[in-house]
Amino acid sequence: MTAELGERIRAARTAQGLSLRATAAQAAISPSLLSQVETGKVQPSVSTLYAIVSCLGLSVDDVLGHHPPTAAPPAVRGRPHPVQPLEDAPEIVMQNGVTWRSLAVTGDEGVDAVRATYQPGAASSIDETHMRHVGVEHGYIVRGELTLKLEFDTFVLRAGDSLCFDAQRPHYYVNHTDEVAEGVWYILGATRSDTAVAPADIRSAVDVLDAMGRLHGRAADDDRGTR
């Protein structure tokens, strides 16, 4: 699945006429890392994947290659099929022991749904990098224990606990236990936004403010360029 993931990312980048270096700079990762992801040589972390797909305007379903079936029984003709068999659910195995499996959605724009599994010691990034992206993040812990670091706060989530927050807030997940942690996530409003910032190197509120300043600077340059 890693090779297919990289191929989809590369196809989206080239379709938009973006160079490898320019895309890597926008995602705040190295061109070498992006190249290795595109060629399937490296499994991206959650934070790296979000940084890449955010700057390309992709959804989780886009990179998973998940498209709800259009064929349906007569009773639901014209609507997405309500059932997604397990064997039809695409899966991504990412760096550092995190796995995403796509869940059934209607195909409406702006909704990403995954079942996320964190192996013991797994984390959303390899260096505690906090990610941020467009949308409102909803999650429910099915089993195990997962730690959420949200800006300056830390929360320990166990089976039965749920979460909800604006995904533009810097956040990071890690499984500190010796047991597998698993949960269900829905990202609502996960569409491309010209004001979205998802650099992979955001680690604090100061970094957020710096990123926002860079974004406002680019917007001002674009505005001057259209006059």
pLDDT at 51: 84
The CATH number of whichever domain residue 163 belongs to comes to 2.60.120.10
Does 176 fall in a domain?
Answer: yes
pLDDT at 57: 80
Report the number of distinct structural domains present in the chain.
1
Does 74 fall in a domain?
Answer: no
pLDDT at 197: 39
Does 188 fall in a domain?
Answer: yes
- Closest by CA to 120, choosing from 182, 178, 172, is 178
Does 138 fall in a domain?
Answer: yes
- In the β-sheet with 91-94, what is the strand arrangement from edge to edge? 91-94, 98-102, 111-118, 181-188, 136-143, 162-166
Q: Cα–Cα distance between 216 and 221 in angstroms, integer? A: 9
pLDDT at 58: 77
Domain around 161: 2-69+80-225
Does residue 198 contact residue 55 with C-beta atoms inside 8 Å? yes
Which regions of the chain are under pLDDT 50? 69-75, 192-227
Does 75 fall in a domain?
Answer: no
